[in-house]
Structure 1
Amino acid sequence: MYELQNEKKTSIRQFIKDLHYNDMRLYLYPDQVLRDSTNYITAFDSDLHWLATRMFDSMRLYGGIGLAAPQIGLSSKIVAVDIEGMHNFLINPEILSYTLESEIKSEGCLSIPGRTFDIDRSLKIEVIAYNLAGKKLHFEAKGFTARVIQHEIDHLNGVLICDNEVKK
């Protein structure tokens, strides 16, 4: 059985047992699960594949382009990204470097419906992560792709866009 480092958190297997196929709900601000620390994924197994498929389905159902596990109530380091240039899952993603060049743009979030916030993000980032098979990924993301990945990784760190709004 897949176990998380922090026993008070739900394991992926327990999360699946407690969930019916169509019950994957979206957690909304100010729910505490959006602020909780997330745990590293160590088992790249059928449970993870099942979760990833449901996350992708939910992301599309809710009209999103990115979805992080905390947004569906699971404190694990997995994000789904579905934008031009990237249709993938990032497991245990980390940003290794940011460029100094940044841009302020309006962002929305599935967990804060009906609101947008002006957020300053780096235009280029260097990322490491793992895919669903456990293969290490090392890549550079630019522009909108970099923005989406930064947004989703923020979720894994308990950070929401309302925390980083650029005041005018």
Structure 2
Amino acid sequence: MPERPIRLFGDPVLKTVSTPVEQIDDRVRALVDDLLDSVRMPGRAGVAASQIGVNLRAFSYNVDGEVGYILNPEIVEVSGDKELIDEGCLSVPGLWHKTPRHPFARVRGIDLDGNEMELSGTGLMAQALQHETDHLDGLLYLDRLEKAERRVAMRQVRESDWF
């Protein structure tokens, strides 16, 4: 399947808490294929199902040449003091802002066979795990910004040509 169009800031699906995957069927397998195809595009570290308009708890990632997915991810561990990291989002194109993120994150979920799996990492992987899980919880990185930075970001959104 080709990559799916990315939903942009303002689309209600991006502010909706995603429903857990309860049954792994052909629809969920097709979703994972779409997520993997969508994340393989240049410059993408992750794509959440909500970003392609599907309200299910799943995301794909593409970090340091490793491409994969996880269903029903939940953050089970973060560590280290939050650091301000330049962050952007496919759903908020062209904007980058200093976002507080933990330097380590671990998520737990399942694969397409229903087997429990974990993903963890530091650096870009930690950032992606936190960012994509936020999407599934109905949050955008803009929601994590410190107050002054958020004011600037929201002005930039309003002035953007895509909003």
Question: Please, what TM-score do these two structures have when normalized by structure 2?
Answer: 0.82
Does the alignment pair 1:28 with 2:8? yes
Alignment of 1:56-135 (within 5 A): 56-61=36-41, 63-84=43-64, 86-135=66-115
- 1:105 deviates by 0.8
One-letter code aligned to 2:125: T
One-letter code aligned to 1:161: Y
Q: Distance in 2 between matches of 1:85 and 1:136?
A: 23
- 1:138 deviates by 3.0
Gapped runs of 5+ residues in structure 1?
A: 1-20
Cα RMSD, aligned residues only: 1.9
Point out the more displaced range, 99-108 or 151-160: 99-108
Is the 1:101–1:122 contact (alpha carbons within 8 Å) kept by the matching residues of 2? yes
Q: Distance in 2 between matches of 1:137 and 1:85?
A: 19
Q: Distance in 2 between matches of 1:56 and 1:164?
A: 26
Which runs of at least 4 in structure 1 moved beyond 4 Å after TM superposition? none
Question: Please, what TM-score do these two structures have when normalized by structure 1?
Answer: 0.80
Partner-residue secondary structure (3-state), 1:95: strand
Point out the more displaced range, 41-50 or 108-117: 41-50
One-letter code aligned to 2:18: T
Q: Which residue of 2 aligns with 1:8?
A: none
Point out the more displaced range, 111-120 or 122-131: 122-131
- 1:162 deviates by 1.1
- 1:32 deviates by 0.8
One-letter code aligned to 2:24: F
Q: Distance in 2 between matches of 1:59 and 1:88?
A: 9
Q: Distance in 2 between matches of 1:114 and 1:65?
A: 15
Gapped runs of 5+ residues in structure 2?
A: 150-163
Q: Which residue of 2 aligns with 1:140?
A: 120
